[in-house]
Structure 1
């Protein structure tokens, strides 16, 4: 292979998820997480975003209506990572999730970011995270990035709201 590099300005524009029920997915992504419904395609698809973008997440039942989640030990999407602007924004969402006793599947400090993990109603993994300032990212002795996974202190995160 040649040494082609994708442009540094490249971003992931959106994710499109197969879901079993549009309404329950909208209740989760819009009602709980706070995304905005932009448009629907009949009863089979919905497009949602933050800040009025055409869509960050597409939801559809075209091949999955009333379906069941895939088995855990198969290939597929591990999770959708939703980048929040600040640590306080992450704390606000954690507070909302705790208020309704929504189960988390994990919480981690990755050195470069802090994240909480959960599953949507179809058991699609969701990571809610914020990036620490780049100057705080840990590095190894050789100067390369030193990402890790350590427990995230959720009580400390909640202190952002105090």
Structure 2
């Protein structure tokens, strides 16, 4: 609750979200729309589906109305959020396979963008970076669910190991 009061406990569990639910889109506040477009459109490869002048742009992969929206409505010229404050940790973009993730890595490196990390999590392979406004970005691909690591009880056993970036780049070239 906004005043710090804990939420009341419910007597019975509530039904969960349906398994088919997906996150449809994310809106990001940016300081400069054109700078943000150079990253999200030109490096990441999303397509602009609509613009609202110099205030907002909507971007998509595969013709969806928008996966990422960029706007300057409350943030034109503003600084990135200060470290140690709340907000978006990262937005994660799921690539369909290892080759397309490798191609995205190549575009990121060719643009001179510094990686913050790269990891093999067992269930996925991920690359971490920041957009020009300081928003965290994860580019990743999932392994097939039947190949996910499991513990003896059948629960997920994710881990955090070094991702071989050179092998990923070779996969993109193949």
TM range (shorter): over 0.9
1:2-151 superposed matches below 5 A = 2-151=13-162
Alpha-carbon distance, 1:147 to partner:
1.1
The answer to whether structure 1 residue 158 and structure 2 residue 169 are counterparts is yes
- d(CA) in 2 for partners of 1:95 and 1:39? 27
Alpha-carbon distance, 1:100 to partner:
2.6
Using the size of structure 2 for normalisation, the TM-score is 0.90
- d(CA) in 1 for partners of 2:53 and 2:109? 33
Gaps of 5+ in 2: 1-9
- d(CA) in 2 for partners of 1:32 and 1:96? 6
Secondary structure at 2:116's aligned position in 1?
strand
Alpha-carbon distance, 1:99 to partner:
1.9
Give the root-mean-square deviation of aligned CA atoms. 0.9
Which one has the largest radius of gyration? 2
Using the size of structure 1 for normalisation, the TM-score is 0.97
Alpha-carbon distance, 1:150 to partner:
1.2
The answer to whether the 8 Å contact 2:40/2:46 transfers is yes
- d(CA) in 2 for partners of 1:22 and 1:101? 20
Alpha-carbon distance, 1:3 to partner:
3.2
